[in-house]
Amino acid sequence: MRSRRTLAIILAAGLLGSGSAFAAAAQLPAEHHQGGVAFLTGGIGKDEAKAFESAEKRFPLALEFVDRVGKRDEFLAGTRVEVKDPHGKTVLSTVADGPFLLARLPSGRYAVAATYDSKTMTRHVVVDGKAGHPIVFEWKAKA
C-alpha cells in the first residue's frame, strides 16, 4: 500500500515542478454517480488541490485523506471509502483518486469508513444539506 502513497507523492511533485504548463487553475474532474449520490475525487497537485478546497463549500460532505509523516501531512490517494446510512445500507463505495472526496448526499446521518494501508477509521456524520467543515482522516506513517 505504501506504493500508492509514493505514486501520489511522485505525481504531485511532477505536477508541482512542471511550471507554467499547469499555471492555470485546474478544473475539477467529472462527477461520478452511484445510486442517488453524486461525487468526485482527486486533488493531486497544487492547482487541483486548491480547486477541491474551493469547491468544498458546494458539497454537503467533504472528506480529506492525509498521512502524518513527522510534523507534516502528506496527501493520500487510493483510500477506500464506504458511506452507510443509519440502516447499514451502503450509499457510496469507491476508492478516492486523491486526497479529496466531495459528495452530494441527502440530509441524514451516515457512517463514513475510510481504509488506507489496511487501517480503517470510521466517523459518524450528520449531513444537513449545507456545506460542512471537511472531515479529515489522518493516518500516521510507520516509523
Q: What is the pTM for the complete model shown?
A: 0.78
Cβ contacts of residue 80 below 8 Å, gap of 6+? 94, 95, 96, 114, 115, 116
Confidence at residue 126, expressed as pLDDT on a 0 to 100 scale: 93
Cα Rg for the chain, rounded, in angstroms? 15
Number of domains in the chain: 1
* pLDDT tens-place string over residues 74-132: 889 999 999 999 999 999 999 999 999 999 999 999 999 999 999 999 999 999 877 76
pLDDT range class, residue 26, cuts 50, 70, 90: low
- Rounded to whole angstroms, the Cα distance separating 4 from 6 reads 5
Question: Residue 20 pLDDT more than 80?
Answer: no
Distance CA 51, CA 28 (A): 6
Q: Is the confidence at residue 53, as pLDDT, over 70?
A: yes
> Where in the sequence is the domain holding 83, given as residue range(s)?
2-140
Of the pLDDT bands very low, low, confident and very high (cuts 50, 70, 90), residue 135 is: very high
Name all contacts of 129-135 with Cβ < 8 Å and 24+ positions apart.
Answer: 129/60, 130/60, 131/56, 131/57, 131/58, 131/59, 131/60, 131/62, 132/60, 132/61, 132/62, 133/62, 134/56, 134/62, 134/63, 134/64, 135/61, 135/62, 135/63, 135/64
Domain of 128: which CATH number? Answer: 2.60.40.10
Whether the pLDDT of residue 1 is over 80: the answer is no
Note the pLDDT of residue 81: 98
Residue 142 is predicted with a pLDDT of: 61
Q: pLDDT averaged over the chain?
A: 83
